[in-house]
Structure 1
Amino acid sequence: MFEAGDRVDGFTIDEFVGGGASADVFRAHREDGDGPVALKVLHPNAADHARVRERFEREFGIASLLDHPHIVRMRAHGEIAAPPGSLGPRHQPSMWLAMQYAAGPAATALVPGDNAEPDVDTILRVAGQIADALDHAHGQDILHRDVKPANILLSRPLGSDADDPTPVDAYLSDFGIAQFLDDTKPLARNGRVQGSIGYASPELLHAHRLSPASDNYSFACSLVELFTGTPPYPRHTAFAITYAHINDDPPRLTRRRPWLPSAMDSIFAKALAKAPQDRYPTCTEFVDILVRLMRDVPVPEPGRSRWWGRPRHP
């Protein structure tokens, strides 16, 4: 779509960062700006779809209402006019969002691979920051509705790719399907629930009215994946995943990580309770309990495929 040096409404493209089905993301800068930004540009062929444009506009509109150090900050937005006659008379202008740039990957980079151990210290640090971000959004009557590791951005590269010894910070991103608590729009379109099914709360899957407890459930699902390597209900079909969220008992993390304290299972059982009122009332309370539990627990070296215990300190 764009190359280094191209200009988009006053922004100069530095490099391509990544892309998806409907948009590409570039690192860019503005000559009068104060640092790099992430420039998210809607694909021209996606700009004709009203639902895609609505999600793009919603991402900027809702996220710009939130002022929190661990929520990606929105800078500006606009449109890119299409060349005359391109793609027919119904073609809509493309759209762009400029937002805070995070130099690291998504938190999916923290998901341990097969036979590897999680980076507990970094996971708990990230969890505390995102918990505070979610609680802040909920305090503003905003539900994210798509909490998952892919929508958590990290401040710097991890592991062997990292030259910076400073601790990793995390930022909650992608408010494209967020909603206000009093929003009465349907949660499903054409019978399909909007959201990521692997992290979806039972009430979201039932298309019931949502509360902050739904985000709290998705957040707990994300932490299950960061600790164990998979979401809580790894199944082969969407139907099987949906059934498990609604009917199956929460997973026991100690089966995958025998070195975890047994209390971890009961903590996550509450965080993943089927009934919203049975979960922790805030994400911060949930994480605070995890941090206290893990404070003196010896943990394996991150990434190793066998036990190498090391002490942890408060």
Structure 2
Amino acid sequence: MEIQVADTLLGTLVDGRYRIRGRVARGGMATVYMGVDERLERTVALKIINPAQVREARFVERFTDEAKTIALLTHPNVVAVYDQGTHGGLPYLVMEYVRGRTLRDVLAERGRLNPGEALAILEQMLAAIAAAHRAGLVHRDVKPENVLVAEAPSGGSGNLVDSVVKVADFGLARAVEASTEDEAGGQLMATVAYVAPELVTDGHADARTDVYSAGIVLFEMLTGRVPYDGDKPVEVAWQHVDRDVPPPSSLVPNLPEVLDDLVARATRRDPGARPTDAGALLAEVQQVRDDLGNSANASTALLRQVAQPTQVIAPLSPVDRPSWARLPEQKQPPPGRRRAAPPPDEGVGGRLGSLRLRLLGDPRARLALVAAVAVLLLLAVIGIWWAGFGRYTVAPQLVSMPKAEAEARAATGGFEIQYAEGRYDEEIARDVVLAQDPPSTARIVKGGTLTLTLSLGPERYDVPDVVGKDLAQAKADVEDAKLVLKEGPAKFDDRLPKGIVMSVDPKPGTKVKPGTAVTVTVSKGRAPITVPEVVGKNINDARAQLQALGLVVVEQYKDDNRAKDEVIAQTPASGSGVEAGAEIKLEVSKGPPQVIVSRVVDLPCQQGKQQLEAQGLRVRVDFNPNGIVRIQNPPENTPVAPGTEVVIGCF
């Protein structure tokens, strides 16, 4: 269970002015709070630097200088900085509170954005960064987490084109980095997914560094992912140095080529090949938006001219930003592209009369009317065909494909994929498509959504470890694992109380099918008979004592240096509990192994004595110790116990 620690700053009054009301977000560099400026009665955001970042006294001074520079940066797409100071030794910034979400939150929800939305957001981002570049500031950490997307004044939260975009944390990375240059030789502050190659190789950053990061953000908005990943941050960083960013259309088919070119120009590995700053890239983005807008509207304008040949229709303008969010440097549509004003209204009767006279007196007008009617009929037929047939295609066959292959096949056909809840299957491997809706060969709208059901593989569960638990708890645990508890014969156990599980079959951790029987053996507690100590006793005495208790004696004899028929070991050990009729195994000594007395008759007395002693026997010499052995007792070849005394007579 995760333990949450209360934030001690909540409710705190900072600098006698800013009351902290809630925590908005926590990052590696700082924590952001929502607060109220009690002097001006307005909601603000407080960014308090984390203690780990404040490593030396000079940090506060450098942070203050950077904050002053940022406060001079005034732009509608820049999060405004109102104040700065220190609280509890930690530097903080008081900033504009933006009601909205980060671009990271938007991408987490949407996956990726359509080109119009991506370019609209990028345009406002670049406008903010361009203002910083003109003021001599480099952001150094452009990424979705530092881009805030606020609701449009119209309240259309679903239309990202009309949303207000604000960029935060200008100069903050530089202030933190500057405080560590002396002790660590500088560090790479930018997030590795968006870092420019020159920051990786030599730590140098200028306006073109922000251009590169903005190009990576555009790539992610169009594709839903960053171009590089890896197990370690350093691996990701060096991919920016060694590889070109792939075109977005390689991941999302049918994206316009101009978007591939735009991403390529912004993310050149050579800084000199990129736009010089955010303002230069902004001009290119605006041109791309204009081109895409003209391309999208050209066919519609042509049909209108055919339907009304006598009316002058101006070319359709691209999608413009709303007036409240238009950027100061955005080009306004030239006067020639404005729609011509309609002629004065002469009334319905006047227009009908004029039209009747023109048709009666001008054959070309009658021809134009016939052509217009024919075009309208043709458009109607095309519309009916499109609504009933043309917009449909056949769903591809994705069943039995692995997940990755099915996704690639669907993407090739321009289809979206969503997943239903997975199902277990004994035959189909995990992450293989079990079913699809609509099924293959069925009609589906072009670019429609296919719902796939993936296999979860064979349904298997781990046998829980219930040894040491009482029977009721063991039954609950087994049934929670979708298995069936089976109670085997109970056994006596000296260690476990009655009713406690002694063993499980299959063993705990074994993967089995649902409904498998798990057999448990339950303790009956300590057995009623206590085994006495019989080691060291004669087998006859030990046998009689154990049999008197109703126990069965099993004897096993073995060579041993202890006396013959002495009990040298017993199983179970003394003090164990057993029930009547239990077997008690006894090991019984057969006595020490015997020695065969060697012949020493006719040998010199001392030689014979040494030979017998070498056999482990004791020797007594009678008569002449320097004579010849004439008598020995016991005689040769007699088996005797080790240490037996042998008498030799020497003459």
- Residue 143, structure 1, aligned to residue 138, structure 2: yes
Code of the aligned partner of 1:233: Y
- Residue 197, structure 1, aligned to residue 204, structure 2: no
**Residue in structure 2 matched with residue 264 of structure 1 by the alignment:** 259
- What is the distance in 1 between the residues matched to 2:239 and 2:116? 30
- Residue 290, structure 1, aligned to residue 297, structure 2: no
- What is the distance in 1 between the residues matched to 2:64 and 2:217? 26
* Shift in alpha-carbon separation, 1:23–1:271, aligned structure 2, 3 A: closer
Under a length normalisation based on structure 2, what TM-score does the superposition of the two structures give? Answer: 0.40
- What is the distance in 2 between the residues matched to 1:103 and 1:31? 19
- What is the distance in 1 between the residues matched to 2:270 and 2:53? 39
**Residue in structure 1 matched with residue 26 of structure 2 by the alignment:** 19
Q: CA deviation at 1:218?
A: 0.8
2:143, 2:214 within 8 Å by CA — same for their partners in 1?
yes
- Residue 105, structure 1, aligned to residue 101, structure 2: yes
* Shift in alpha-carbon separation, 1:3–1:164, aligned structure 2, 3 A: farther
**Residue in structure 2 matched with residue 221 of structure 1 by the alignment:** 216
Q: CA deviation at 1:188?
A: 11
Code of the aligned partner of 2:67: F
**Residue in structure 2 matched with residue 38 of structure 1 by the alignment:** 45
* Shift in alpha-carbon separation, 1:102–1:198, aligned structure 2, 3 A: same
Q: CA deviation at 1:253?
A: 0.5
1:187, 1:194 within 8 Å by CA — same for their partners in 2?
no
Q: CA deviation at 1:173?
A: 0.8
- Choose 1 or 2 for highest CA Rg: 2
Code of the aligned partner of 1:49: R
Code of the aligned partner of 1:171: K
- What is the distance in 2 between the residues matched to 1:152 and 1:95? 22
Code of the aligned partner of 2:13: R
- What is the distance in 2 between the residues matched to 1:132 and 1:37? 23
- Alignment length, in residue pairs? 285
**Runs of 5+ in structure 1 lacking a partner?**
82-92, 299-303, 310-314
**Residue in structure 1 matched with residue 126 of structure 2 by the alignment:** 131
Instruction: Give per-residue Cα distances to partners, 1:48-86, cap 9 Å, x unaligned.
Output: 5238757754652332121111111111112224xxxxx
2:265, 2:273 within 8 Å by CA — same for their partners in 1?
yes
1:112, 1:226 within 8 Å by CA — same for their partners in 2?
no
Instruction: Give per-residue Cα distances to partners, 1:126-170, cap 9 Å, x unaligned.
Output: 21111111111111111111111111112249xxx9599993211
Instruction: Give per-residue Cα distances to partners, 1:234-270, cap 9 Å, x unaligned.
Output: 3333333233211212211002211211232222111
RMSD (CA atoms)? 3.5
For the residue of structure 1 that corresponds to 2:32, the secondary structure is strand
**Residue in structure 1 matched with residue 225 of structure 2 by the alignment:** 230
* Shift in alpha-carbon separation, 1:290–1:232, aligned structure 2, 3 A: farther
Q: Within 5 A, what are the aligned runs for 1:1-314?
A: 1-2=7-8, 5-9=11-15, 10-33=17-40, 35-43=42-50, 45-46=51-52, 48-50=54-56, 53=60, 56-57=63-64, 60-81=67-88, 93-111=89-107, 116-156=111-151, 162=157, 167-174=162-169, 175-178=171-174, 189-190=184-185, 192-207=187-202, 209-281=204-276, 282-295=280-293, 296=295, 305=417, 307=447
For the residue of structure 1 that corresponds to 2:269, the secondary structure is coil
1:111, 1:118 within 8 Å by CA — same for their partners in 2?
yes
Higher relative contact order, structure no. (Cα contacts within 8 Å, ≥ 6 residues apart) = 1
* Shift in alpha-carbon separation, 1:142–1:237, aligned structure 2, 3 A: same
* Shift in alpha-carbon separation, 1:259–1:279, aligned structure 2, 3 A: same
- What is the distance in 1 between the residues matched to 2:25 and 2:262? 36
Greater strand content:
2
- What is the distance in 2 between the residues matched to 1:4 and 1:248? 46
1:124, 1:291 within 8 Å by CA — same for their partners in 2?
yes
Calculate percent identity across the aligned residue pairs. 24
